Chain A
């Protein structure tokens, strides 16, 4: 963590707790543009804005920078307000059809923040029972959303011009490695609480389930790319503000059953190091704690930003990691290339796009060609970057580093 990142963490730590904090302008050599860019990469620029707006006149920030910061914050908060208002209506319609809905993630976590409208969200996630999936899809279509269902997908993405994407889920945990998933999914529906979104009632998970779900969500994110400071803020606030409602012993027991106990211990240790959050004693892993890996975890969070998309190299290293099995060391170029081009049946069948091979295993060579065609034609990665996945040793090294961290978490 460099000096500017450390300042960002201090600002954020105060902002989410609605505390005053004024950086030491004389001694800290603050580069506000760098702090803004870093905050943007972690999607926390909105969270620290109220604090920054109180000190900007005296803290040496350029006027232009503050103006763009302010504008970004207002645009996002207006966008969120409009979408929440809209979702109130959607929840009412789903309720009228007798469909139980659990609002997920940002829709309910925002209530923990001093300025709920500033907790960044890029889409809206809702959960319905598998049997209600079709009826819920009809309700969303009737109000103007159009859905894109992938074969075998556990969620449907709904789009509507001018509004955020809605992800309609029938399952919470899509990551195969998590153990006893069904038990967790059932427990979620048994442990709900009612909240209101613009006066319309909707279900939310109990805080115990919410905490676990947030951690499981981060586990899947760190495997597929990474996560940033915003997601840590959620955990800090759940723990600090709702910790008294949480049976931590039960949560620790469930996390062990799900196979994420060690990962959660590490997560909470990071929250402690960065935000000074007190770790619930049930998650103090004295034998398992390892300063070396916790330092690397913190570096992983800063180098990846929100969803691990901060820079191109990290993004490409993640592709490499995702497509490599446990068999070959990352430096073994030939086996790695072969594996990248022709992933195993188990790797490919786990992806919804190629899940047809579950039904027809004989189609594996077709799935390889299908995947190659997808890889060649995908437009979000330039051809030179596609080539570098096969050639750049630095990417292989990054992937190897992330791989060893994931293994330490027991997530790979």
Chain B
């Protein structure tokens, strides 16, 4: 899976924020801010990544167990899919 074209992540007022571009504005309402780990996953998803690769990315950057990492990654993917940002 990967981030669809027409979205970019920018640091705005010190916070990572998803910015829809061009026609994406119409389908993307509201503001989506990402935590530090969310921003990390976003970077990985820009080039395309599997769920396992995302879990590994979290494990190599944070001192947490695999179950917690997987739960967080699943929640992240779900929220991104619900916003129609991911190409599965």
- A28-57 near B? 1/0 per residue, CB < 8 Å: 000000000000000000100110010000
Q: Which residue in B12, B14, B15, B26 is a CB contact (below 8 Å) of A81?
A: B12
Q: Which residues of A contact B21 (CB under 8 A)?
A: 82, 85-86
Listed by A's residue number, 15 A-B pairs whose Cβ atoms lie within 8 Å are A46-B13, A49-B13, A50-B14, A73-B13, A74-B15, A74-B17, A74-B33, A78-B20, A78-B31, A85-B8, A85-B21, A86-B22, A117-B13, A118-B12, A162-B25
Nearest CB on A from B19, distance (A): 5
How many of chain A's residues have a CB under 8 angstroms from any CB in B?
A: 18
Question: Which chain B residue shows the least CB distance to A49?
Answer: B13
Instruction: List A contacts of B17 (CB < 8 A).
Output: 74, 77-78
How many angstroms from the CA of A53 to the CA of B14 in the assembled complex?
10
A20 to chain B: closest CB distance in Å?
A: 14
CA A162 to CA B15, docked complex, whole Å: 23
Contact between chains at B19 and A50 (CB < 8 Å): no
State A85–B15 Cα separation when bound (angstroms).
19
Given A82-B21, A117-B10: 13 more A-B contacts, CB < 8 Å: A49-B13, A74-B31, A75-B31, A77-B13, A78-B12, A78-B17, A81-B10, A81-B19, A82-B25, A115-B13, A115-B14, A117-B13, A118-B12
Give the number of residues in B that approach A within 8 Å (Cβ atoms).
15
- With A81-B19, A82-B20, A82-B21 as known contacts, state yes or no: A74 contacts B13, CB within 8 Å: yes
User: Which residues of A102-116 have CB atoms within 8 Å of chain B's CB atoms?
Assistant: 115
State whether the Cβ of A346 lies closer than 8 Å to any Cβ in chain B.
no
Q: Is A272 an interface residue (CB 8 A)?
A: no
The CA of A49 and the CA of B14, in the complex, are separated in Å by 10
A404 CB–B CB distance under 8 Å:
no
| Chain A, residue nearest B24 (CB) | A82
| A82 interface neighbour in B13, B14, B19, Cβ under 8 Å | B19
A117 and B12: CB pair below 8 A? yes
> Contacts A71-B31, A82-B19, A82-B20; is A77 near B12 (CB within 8 Å)?
yes
Residue of chain A at shortest CB distance from B31? A74
* Among A46, A77, A118, residue most surrounded by chain B Cβ atoms (within 10 Å): A77
- Name, among A49, A50, A74, A118, the residue most crowded by chain B CB atoms within 10 Å (CB to CB): A74
- For residues 11 through 59 of chain B, which have their beta carbon under 8 Å from a beta carbon of chain A? 12-15, 17, 19-22, 25-26, 31, 33
List of B residues within 8 angstroms of A50 by Cβ: 13-14
Using CB atoms, name the residue of chain A closest to B26: A162
Tell me how far the C-beta of B68 lies from the nearest C-beta in chain A, rounded to whole angstroms. 27
Do B31 and A53 touch across chains, with their CB atoms under 8 A apart? no
Residues of chain B within 8 A (CB-CB) of A78 are: 12, 17, 19-20, 31
Interface centre among B12, B15, B22 (most CB of A within 10 A): B12
Complex-state Cα separation, A133 to B65, whole angstroms = 62
Q: Name the one of B13, B19, B25 contacting A118, with C-beta atoms under 8 angstroms.
A: B13
Task: Give the chain B neighbours of A82 by CB distance below 8 A.
Answer: 19-21, 25
Contact with B along A112-138 (1 / 0, CB 8 A): 000101100000000000000000000
Complex alpha-carbon distance, A162 and B22, angstroms: 9
Q: How far is the CA of A85 from the CA of B12 in the complex (A)?
A: 14
Q: Which residue of B lies closest to A198 (CB)?
A: B8
CB distance from A187 to the nearest CB of B (A): 36
Instruction: Please give the distance in Å from A329's CB to the nearest CB on chain B.
Output: 50
Q: How far is the CA of A86 from the CA of B8 in the complex (A)?
A: 13
* A82 to B20 CA separation, bound complex (whole angstroms): 7
CA distance in complex: A230, B2 (Å): 40
Q: Interface digits, A171-188 against B, CB 8 Å rule (1 contact, 0 not)?
A: 000000000000000000
Question: What 4 pairs across the A-B complex have the smallest Cβ distances?
Answer: A77-B12, A74-B31, A81-B19, A117-B12
Q: In the bound complex, what is the Cα–Cα distance between A74 and B15 (angstroms)? A: 9
B12 touches A74 (CB 8 A): yes
A114 to chain B, nearest CB (A): 10
Cα distance A78–B10 in the bound complex, in angstroms = 9
Least CB distance from B58 to A in Å reads 25
> Could you tell me the distance in whole angstroms from the C-beta of B76 to the nearest C-beta in chain A?
19
Mark out the residues of chain A between 63 and 92 whose CB falls within 8 Å of any chain B CB in the assembled complex.
71, 73-75, 77-78, 81-82, 85-86
Q: How far is the CB of A6 from chain B (nearest CB, A)?
A: 25
Q: How far is the CA of A146 from the CA of B31 in the complex (A)?
A: 28
Instruction: Identify the closest chain B residue to A54 (Cβ).
Output: B14
Chain A residues whose CB sits within 8 angstroms of the CB of B15 once the complex forms: 74
